[in-house]
Structure 1
Amino acid sequence: MKGLVCLLLLLETFVCVVQHQVDGGLNENEISQQLRSEDGRQNPPQTDTLRDEASTDSQQTCEPSFPDIYAALRELTATVTEQKVNIRNLETQLRDEMNKKNDEISNLTLGQVELRKENRDREIAFSAALVQSGGRNYIGPFTTGITLTYRNVFTNIGNAYNPVTGVFTAPLKGAYMFRVSVFGIGPTAATADIYKNEERVVVARAYQPEQGLNSSNGVVLILEVGDVVYVRLSSGFRISDDQYNRNTFSGFLLFPLR
């Protein structure tokens, strides 16, 4: 019995203590918040910590990348600028070379034109006979010598020979070749003399009592510009010609001289 009384007393005492804690102390919510606060101080929230760490890592990762991009852009810009300069220099070099080539082509073209003109100036040749058509014609004899006019022109390149006067005029200084052929009927002798300016140079002459007379001669002359060459029939001589062109006068430039 005594033991039962003691147990009841202990239960009453415990109830009183608990009631005192409830009435004068913290309520249940405050106790819970306090417990959570204590737990938070001992173990900080993992979510915020991870978020902060991720933000820090992101900043550490992103911040260095921007300078790297700027440096790459600056390097690329410098490379492009350098390439532009190189391209401009190359264009200038190509333009200079093209202008040089064009000048060379122009000079070559001018040289070719001058060479053609010079070659045309060197194209000098003529050949002519006394009569143009008809039967036998006699020229001479005369009491004085005459200049023969070879009117039947076969060739007159350069137009240095005048068929009206029978005179060849040198258009440029050079060495020229001249030939003359003569034909006549005996017994009168036939002759033809090549003259340079007023000087007789060579003579072609033939004589026999009857029938045809033939002779020819030639000479190379150094002529200055304006020198003249022609053929004369001396006094007392006679020549004859027909459609076969037996009397001819020819000449051509061998080569020019400086």
Structure 2
Amino acid sequence: MLFPLLLLICSLSTAQSEIKPDSKITPLLNQGREPAQDSDLQQTCTPDINSVLREMSASLKGELITIKSRAEITENQVKTLKRDGEGFNISHFNTVCFSLSVKRVAFSASLLGTESKNIGPFNTHTPLVYKHVVTNIGNAYNPHTGSFTAPVRGAYHFEFYVYGHHSHPAGAVLVKNGEHIFIAYEHSTSPNAVSSSNGVTLLLEVGDVVFLKLWVNAWIFDNENQHSTFSGHLLFTM
């Protein structure tokens, strides 16, 4: 509303200014008028314009302060959104990468590589180390200790096979964190070789350890044909 008022006042002032030269040309038209009429109008118009300008200046100053405040708020919001967006992107990226990596967990190994020999018998349960690694996706199996360590909570499936001679029993037990789970065991009086196998699906927490032990007073045989094996893989995360 300030701008139309200012234009109206300025128009009146301009019109008054344009009348002055004409009044000098036709002095007879001004006879009978008060000589101070023009100056009074100019004095009245000038304070009004100054007042309007002061009001406009104050109003514009207030609006400028408001605009600056809003701009600062918007800038802070943009920075916050950008920071949150970057954090979300990094977190989401790490989550996706971790999910892709842990969903690919599988291993398979045999007891020996090119050697041909028996292991055992021993008078106690003895950990078995399957040294010849065929597959180790995710590197959860350690060929130096023979242990599988769960990288993520989920359901895992394990299978193991034992092979031996008839003169002694052949057997191994699958162990989870020191607890005996399933055993594969075979003993025969015939002159033929013996073998046994077993499998199990386990719910493992992160860091749970699974490995095999040679059964007490049993033995196990392996050679380049890889008769005795240990395998496992992640079925799904939980």
Q: 2:161–2:228: 8 Å Cα contact kept in structure 1?
A: yes
Q: 1:189–1:205: 8 Å Cα contact kept in structure 2?
A: yes
Q: Which residue among 109, 112, 116 is the counterpart of 1:137? A: 116
Q: Secondary structure at the match of 2:198?
A: strand
Q: Secondary structure at the match of 1:86?
A: helix
Q: How many angstroms apart in 1 are the aligned matches of 2:50 and 2:108? A: 91
- Name the amino acid aligned to 2:49: I
Larger radius of gyration: 1
* Superposition deviation, residue 83 in structure 1: 2.0
Match of 1:239 in 2: 221
Select between 83-92 and 218-227 the one with higher mean Cα deviation: 218-227
Match of 2:18 in 1: none
Q: Does 1:81 align with 2:56?
A: no
Deviations 1:163-200 (Å, cap 9, x if unpaired)? Answer: 12212345676654322133456676543321234443
1:1-258 paired onto structure 2 within 5 Å: 56-109=36-89, 111-112=91-92, 115=95, 119=99, 122=102, 125-132=106-113, 134=114, 137-140=116-119, 142-144=121-123, 145-157=125-137, 159-170=139-150, 175-184=155-164, 190-206=170-186, 209=190, 214-223=195-204, 227-234=208-215, 235-242=217-224, 244-253=225-234
Q: How many angstroms apart in 2 are the aligned matches of 1:62 and 1:140? A: 120
Q: How many angstroms apart in 2 are the aligned matches of 1:82 and 1:59? A: 35
Deviations 1:10-42 (Å, cap 9, x if unpaired)? Answer: xxxxxxxxxxxxxxxxxxxxxxxxxxxxxxxxx
Deviations 1:37-58 (Å, cap 9, x if unpaired)? Answer: xxxxxxxxxx987788696343
CA 50–239 in structure 1, closer or farther in 2 if over 3 Å, else same: same
* Superposition deviation, residue 73 in structure 1: 1.3
Match of 2:11 in 1: none
Q: 1:183–1:240: 8 Å Cα contact kept in structure 2?
A: yes
- Name the amino acid aligned to 1:241: N
How many aligned positions are there? 208
Greater helix share, structure number: 1
Q: 1:183–1:241: 8 Å Cα contact kept in structure 2?
A: no
Q: How many angstroms apart in 2 are the aligned matches of 1:194 and 1:50? A: 125
Q: How many angstroms apart in 2 are the aligned matches of 1:48 and 1:99? A: 72
Match of 1:43 in 2: none
- Name the amino acid aligned to 2:220: R
Q: Identical aligned pairs, as a percentage?
A: 32
Specify every segment of 5 or more residues in structure 2 that has no aligned partner in the other structure, as ranges.
Answer: 1-25
* Superposition deviation, residue 84 in structure 1: 0.3
- Name the amino acid aligned to 2:117: Y
* Superposition deviation, residue 94 in structure 1: 0.3
CA 83–70 in structure 1, closer or farther in 2 if over 3 Å, else same: same
- Name the amino acid aligned to 1:62: Q
* Superposition deviation, residue 160 in structure 1: 4.1
Structure 1-normalised TM-score?
0.60
Q: 2:220–2:228: 8 Å Cα contact kept in structure 1?
A: no
Q: How many angstroms apart in 2 are the aligned matches of 1:163 and 1:229? A: 13
Select between 56-65 and 82-91 the one with higher mean Cα deviation: 56-65
Structure 2-normalised TM-score?
0.64
Specify every segment of 5 or more residues in structure 1 that has no aligned partner in the other structure, as ranges.
Answer: 1-46
Deviations 1:117-150 (Å, cap 9, x if unpaired)? Answer: 8648956543322223x3x723245244532211
* Superposition deviation, residue 213 in structure 1: 5.0
